[in-house]
Structure 1
Amino acid sequence: MEQLLLERSGNKCELCQSAAALKIYEVQPQTSHPEDNTIVICDKCIAQIEKTEEADLKHLGFLRTSIWSAIPGVQVVTWRLLNRLKGESWAVDSLDAMYLDEETLAWAQAGADEDNDAVEDIHKDCNGAPLQAGDTVVLIKSLDVKGSQLNAKMGTVVKNIRLVHNNTDQIEGKIEGQTIVILTKFVRKQGA
């Protein structure tokens, strides 16, 4: 079956058309037609589908063309990714242009994210670079710390930050030995 799928795909990712690092991917939940619900995709697309890396809107631009695929598995994955990106006007337009028969739509909905409208909990700096616990950031603005005489000057380096759970706009870090909460819009990831 792998050879049939590679021939069908032309040895390219059936989503983004990349020829790099191709894998056979089973679109869940499986139906009774394995050739329809198994597709050939690249590692980058797998990472986007499985959310093992942050959504890459530039890469996901392929969704504008994959909506026209006749392969049910590609249709289902495309529909699910577009629903995840409902905050983007181009994604909404692509969803509106897309047609799925009832059976394929039911399959797409059956394996869709439980909360399609949820924004992924990713802390980002002022430039949109993802922040992780332990990163080092630089203040891009001088900040007065509430309830303290401390004034954190622009350019101050804050090492080993902690992410504030349930609030992607805040991180914690130590400045002059004092742990403070800092808004992510006032920091730049060092090296970014």
Structure 2
Amino acid sequence: MSLEKQLAERSGSLCELCNGTENLSVYAVPPTDQQSVDNSVLICQTCLDQIEKREQLEAAHWRVLSDTMWSTYPAVQVMAWRMLSRLRHEGWAADNLDILYLEDEVLDWAKKTGDHEQDGTVQFHEDSNGTRLYDGDTVVLIKTLDVKGSTLSAKLGTVVKNIRLVADNTEQIEGKVEGQTIVILTKYLRKG
């Protein structure tokens, strides 16, 4: 029997964190070298996107952890603890963390990634209007920019196609202007 079928049978074909029924997939709880029933959970796409910080954490979505945190499966307990920790600024999440008991080895597993030490907010690349940017987007400069180390001047209104997001800095993107790849501050552009 496949891992996904085993987890679906274990969970009743529900997301093990929010009880959702759509777009379910197997998630190996980090850190892990190999997926197994013991170190994986069946979760929905909404949970996955928020766990992996591709979307902002929505506290209302996670309120069901008050029930699902009592799972008898350690992988589910670990994920519930981590998400409650990220939401600890919410009163209900802090209360649940106070009453959630985990065996020592399960708690050690939950603390291994350090993700629980961060709050629930996620920083995304946004243009000057607060619109979220993605790799491959087209943007327009809202200010004439002189490019450091070059005689190039990127004029107001210049269209920059197929941008790349700078991974470690949400205030910067990379794009080609007149055939030259430059770094542009997101506050000087708007989505095209």
Listed one character per residue, the Cα deviations across residues 92-148 of structure 1 (whole Å, up to 9, x for unaligned) are: 8624532233433223123x247954987853334251432x432123x32343666
C-alpha distance in 1 between matches for 2:26 and 2:166? 38
* Structure-2 residue corresponding to 1:94: 93
Contact 2:173 2:185 in 1 (8 A): yes
Contact 1:39 1:74 in 2 (8 A): yes
State the TM-score, normalized to the length of structure 2. 0.63
C-alpha distance in 2 between matches for 1:12 and 1:37? 17
Contact 1:11 1:19 in 2 (8 A): yes
* Structure-2 residue corresponding to 1:74: 76
* Structure-1 residue corresponding to 2:57: 57
2:189 aligned with 1:187: yes
C-alpha distance in 2 between matches for 1:173 and 1:9? 46
| SS at structure 2 position matched to 1:40 | strand
Distance change in 2, residues 1:8/1:138 (3 Å): same
Q: Report the AA paired with residue 76 of structure 2.
A: V
2:124 aligned with 1:125: no
Structure 1 residue 149: deviation in Å? 8.5
| SS at structure 1 position matched to 2:184 | strand
Distance change in 2, residues 1:97/1:151 (3 Å): same
Contact 1:66 1:75 in 2 (8 A): no
Q: Report the AA paired with residue 82 of structure 2.
A: R
Distance change in 2, residues 1:179/1:46 (3 Å): closer
Distance change in 2, residues 1:151/1:159 (3 Å): closer
Paired residues, what number? 177
Structure 1 stretches of 5 or more lacking a match? none
C-alpha distance in 2 between matches for 1:171 and 1:3? 42
State the TM-score, normalized to the length of structure 1. 0.63
- What percent identity do the matched residue pairs reach? 41
Distance change in 2, residues 1:89/1:188 (3 Å): farther
Structure 2 stretches of 5 or more lacking a match? none
Distance change in 2, residues 1:131/1:124 (3 Å): farther
C-alpha distance in 2 between matches for 1:4 and 1:67? 24
Q: Report the AA paired with residue 57 of structure 2.
A: L
Structure 1 residue 17: deviation in Å? 2.2
2:162 aligned with 1:145: no
